[in-house]
Structure 1
Amino acid sequence: TQVFRIMRALNVGNAPMNYARLIATEQGGRIAYDRVELAQRFSDPAFVASFAPGTVGAAYRNFLETTGYSADGLVEVSRLVPSEDDLAHPYAWFGRRVRDTHDIWHVLTGYKADESMGEAALVAFSYAQVGGLGWALIGSAAALKSMRVTGSKLFAKAVWEGYRNGRKAKWVSGEDYLELLHEPLEAARERLGIVTPFAYLRAQRELGPALASYLSTQKAATAAAAIAPERIAA
């Protein structure tokens, strides 16, 4: 829950800024007007099963099946820390939208969710995309700690690459996710400017699973039944 306390404290004012950015986009006004609750859609088995092979949605379905994660689970983890996420307010809705698409971003970027380095790299990507000092602090702390734990800069370089790639990419929060999910995955990545994370893939190869997931390993050793701390929502 420390992660969420940090996010709530340091990301104040982030949702209004990004909501204004959303409605200034070509389709943002319609998206905001429709105000779809994505967690509800992503938790519908029939909806998740509807995507054709090779699409973003099919990759998301595979993500859920292989990790055991769920949209509802992400919501419940985020609620461990009191917040205003459930308010009937446009800014709260936008915050939920960022939270609920976190795992879609894992799919789009290729960063693993059940791995400390993949989560840290996506945090850096998220900071570049939507701002918020909470993202910056968590990503930086993970990168700095990794150098001490792994004795290498590979993990940290992967996190820095995540930030750079987030800066280069199109603003993903402005997407109509209900349409994006039906788009072929590689075509979506190309359209959004989400490039292959070469430093991340190199770090995975050279560090190996244990060091790439050192936070997960430590957590499993101390509290196997607890919720993994690297599961981060907006």
Structure 2
Amino acid sequence: MAEVNPKSDNKVRPFAAFRAVRRVVNDPEQTTQVFRVIQALSAPSLRRNFKRFRKTEVGTKVLSEQINLVDKLTDAEYLKSLPENTLGHAYYRFTSNEQISADGLQAASEEAGYQIDDENLDRFAKRLRSSHDLFHVLTQYGRDPLGEACLLAFSYGQTGNISFPFILLMASLRLYKGAGITVFAALWRGYRDGKRAKWLPAADWEVLLTQPLEQVRDEFVIPEPRRYQHLFAQLATAT
């Protein structure tokens, strides 16, 4: 299994990423290939975001106490027990309805050979990965191709990870064939909202799971994704 050494591996591998993106475009369910794109391109941005994270109060706590977000997100009974208006309960409903789990993301990442040999950097990378579906819940972007693309644009605005626009470049061309030029407006709005929102990688998710969902959205300045919702409704009507 390939290892990523944060002290020595500063390279991006565009050709490896391109091969993986082609597979994703042909089959959007190939989550493993998404992680191969991330592995090929994200090392510089991951380290940059990690440096920012470890300077935050939440980052210091997560690293010193060795907190793993996936432990909370895979505790279905705990999430289900939270009040219905909370982020945690909304996450439980979302993952149950979609029949997905944080464990599934972890398995896909491991299958792609994504491994980091620095313990703290690895913990941060896993926390980012595990929060993907929390991003879905907060932003209200669905798991349909357009929703996933808009969430990638939002995430790029948050992290500057160049693997995201690399995937978007390929995916948007396919979306354009079905949705027309308006797809780019939805993607731009996702990116802009990600830039304007507070920095989610430093979110204290373990606490926020217990908070009212709308309160968390307000706290992190996450608006309704109206362009996405409008275009999604149009596409649904057309089919």
TM-score of the two chains, using structure 1 as the length reference: 0.83
Alignment of 1:162-201 (within 5 A): 162-201=190-229
Q: Percent identity?
A: 34
Corresponding residue number in structure 2 for 1:124: 153
Aligned to 1:110: 140
Alpha-carbon separation, structure 2, partners of 1:131 and 1:80: 25
The corresponding residue for 1:100 is 130
Counterpart of 1:13 in 2: which secondary structure?
helix
Query: Which residue number in structure 2 is paired with residue 90 of structure 1?
Result: 120
Unaligned runs of 5+ in 2: 1-31
| Residues 152 and 164 in structure 2, CA contact (< 8 A), matched pair in contact too | yes
Matches within 5 A, 1:26-175: 26-85=57-116, 87=117, 89-113=119-143, 115-147=144-176, 149-150=177-178, 152-175=180-203
Matches of 2:43 and 2:159, distance apart in 1: 12
- 1:210 offset after TM fit, Å? 7.5
1:204 counterpart = 2:232: yes
Whole-Å Cα distance in 1 between the matches of residues 179 and 88 of structure 2?
Answer: 38
My pick for the range that moved more, 16-25 or 115-124, is: 16-25
Q: TM-score, normalised by structure 2?
A: 0.81
User: For 2:40, which of 3, 6, 9 is the aligned residue?
Assistant: 9
- Deviation at residue 189 of structure 1 after TM alignment: 0.4
* Cα drift, residue 171 of structure 1: 0.1
| Separation of aligned partners in 1, 2:58 and 2:34 | 32
Task: State the 4+ residue runs in structure 1 displaced beyond 6 angstroms.
Answer: none
> Shift in Å at residue 40 of structure 1?
2.4
Give the partner amino acid of 1:195. P
**Structure 2 CA distance for partners of 1:210 and 1:35, relative to 1, 3 Å:** farther
Work out the CA distance in 2 between the residues paired with 1:47 and 1:110: 22
State how far apart, in whole Å, the 1-side matches of 2:181 and 2:201 are.
30
Does the 8 Å CA contact 2:155/2:191 hold for their aligned counterparts? yes
Paired residue type of 2:139: T
2:43 partner SS: coil
CA contact (8 A) 1:143 1:156 kept: yes
Offset, 1:146: 1.4
